[in-house]
Amino acid sequence: MYKIFETVDEVSRYTARRILNRVEHKPGAVLGLATGSTMEPVYEHLVQGVRQAQVNMSQLTTFNLDEYIGLGATHTQSYSHYMRRHLFDRLSLSEEKVHLPDGMSNHAEQACRAYSQAISALGGLDLQLLGIGSNGHIGFNEPHTSFASRTHVVELSEQTRIDNGRFFTDQAEVPTHAMTLGIQDILEAKEIMLVITGRHKADIVAKLFHSGVDEALPASALKRHHDATIVLDSEAAALLPHQGFNAKATAG
């Protein structure tokens, strides 16, 4: 399902509201979280929403999608740091209940296996939040990642390293590898929300809309999911055939 709003603010408010509804309905929910520019206003609305409605977040468990290899939690560009800054510290989420892949592990493969297993052991993700890369990646699952993949170590594509270079002072500082939840793990979430904003994402949105289910375009895996919503602002939706529609996608 595609849901299109005029502004980033409306997209973010709607997404935060859907997350809050989940948690209000099920206080012990397990959420899959993403980082990146797209999520910043979503987390801002989420924090405001929790405060306004006084939602109890103490039973919530979260698992982030990904983390850079080699950046510790204190590195300002690590996803662990991002999550504490934008969400965890502001909602006082308990440390035992928030999880990110351990990009500093000396036993990466073992750590990856344990990450997917920890999610399954809790009954799976109730809601997975996703952004999309300009090459169609979800999490750090780059084009041609198997749709059967579990949490794994990935070598970042040149495109992704260039895109993410804006967060670092020097392009050479962008890590070459990351750990990411696999596509199979993502597809096992009960509900998925893919949030896409900005004119710079319009090309990949149009490509996704017209694509079949194809490992060359990781986000197309969502077309196999029974409850996936793609939430767009008008800029990201600019190249879709029927701008302004909020309906089931027919293409792909």
Question: What is the rounded CA–CA span in Å between residue 19 and residue 16?
Answer: 5
Cβ-proximal residue to ligand F6R, closest one: 131
Q: Report the nearest approach of ligand F6R to the CB of residue 5 (Å).
A: 16
Q: Report the nearest approach of ligand F6R to the CB of residue 99 (Å).
A: 13
Residue 32 engages ligand F6R in binding (rule: CB under 6 A): no
Is 64 a residue of the active site? no
Instruction: Single out the catalytic residue among 142, 163, 185, 233.
Output: 142
Is 144 a residue of the active site? no
Residue 65 engages ligand F6R in binding (rule: CB under 6 A): yes
Angle at which helix 39-53 crosses helix 8-25, to 10 degrees, equals: 50
232 with 7: CB under 8 angstroms? no
**What's phi and psi for 162, nearest 5 deg?**
-70, -45
62 with 33: CB under 8 angstroms? yes
Q: What is the DSSP letter of 156?
A: P
Piece in contact with ligand F6R (CB under 6 A), picked from 49-57, 98-106, 128-136, 213-221: 128-136
Residue 34 engages ligand F6R in binding (rule: CB under 6 A): yes
Is 142 a residue of the active site? yes
Question: What is the rounded CA–CA span in Å between residue 122 and residue 59?
Answer: 13
Residue 137 engages ligand F6R in binding (rule: CB under 6 A): yes
Task: Give the CA angle between residues 215, 140, 57 to the nearest 5°.
Answer: 120
Place of tokens 């990642």: 145
Residue 86 engages ligand F6R in binding (rule: CB under 6 A): no
Residue 41 engages ligand F6R in binding (rule: CB under 6 A): no
Piece in contact with ligand F6R (CB under 6 A), picked from 97-105, 137-145, 214-222, 236-244: 137-145
Amino acid identity, residue 149?
A: S
Instruction: Single out the catalytic residue among 135, 185, 188, 233.
Output: 135
Point out the residues that are catalytic: 66, 135, 137, 142
